[in-house]
Each structure stands twice: as structure tokens, then as C-alpha cells.
Amino acid sequence: MALEAIKKVAESEQEARARREAAEAEARKIVSDAQRAGRELLAEAKAEAEKQAREKLVRAEEQAAARERELLAENEAACAALRERAAGRMDLAAERIVRRVVSS
């Protein structure tokens, strides 16, 4: 009888060890799966952030180009106005120069 009890205890201990090892293996798998899922989520988030950054950069470049065109048009108009005013004063300037030359 004592031998049977010892065998049962040994079997129970063996079963407990096997369950513990299985539980530890399952826990390692859960941790590994969670780490892999975390890395995948991180990679997806990084890719999305890079995509958004590229899109914002493109929009900023487009806005900068549009603003540049506006400024160039404004400056061209201002230059044209200055040339027009200067051309209108050219006769007066030439007349004054002639008077100075003649009066000297």
C-alpha cells in the first residue's frame, strides 16, 4: 500500500510539473505574441506618422509655392508701377538737366 501511495504521489508531482511547464510555455508564448503585436503596432504607427509628415510637407511646399507666386505677381505689379511713374517723370528730368546745362 505504501508503494502505491508513493507512486501516486510521484505521478501527481510529475503531472504538476508537466502542467507548470505547459503553463510557463504558454506564458512565454503570450509574452512573445504580445511583443510581436506591439512591434507591429509600432511599425504601423511609425509608417502612418511618416505618411502624414510627407503629406504635410507636400501641402506646405504647395502653399509656399502659391505664396511665392503671389509675391512675385505683387512685386512685378509694383515694379511696373514704378517704371510707369519713372517714365512719366523722364521728360521733367530731361528738361531740368537741359536747364542746368544751359544755365551754367
Place 62 in a pLDDT band, splitting at 50, 70 and 90.
very high
Looking at the predicted structure, is the pLDDT value of residue 1 above 70?
no
Evaluate if pTM is beyond 0.85: no
What is the count of structural domains for the chain? 1
Q: Answer yes or no: is 47 within a domain.
A: yes
Q: Which triple of cell numbers denotes residue 19?
A: 502542467
**Residue 55: inside a domain, yes or no?**
yes
Residue 84 lies in a domain: no
- ∠ CA 97-102-104, nearest 5°, is 100
What pLDDT does 4 receive? 85
pLDDT exceeds 90 at position 77 = yes
- What is the average per-residue pLDDT within 17-26? 96
Within 13 A of 92's CA, how many CA atoms are on the CB side? 5
Is the per-residue pLDDT at 37 higher than 90?
A: yes
Can you give the C-alpha Rg of the chain in angstroms? Answer: 44
Residue 93 lies in a domain: no
Give the mean model confidence (pLDDT) for residues 74-82: 96
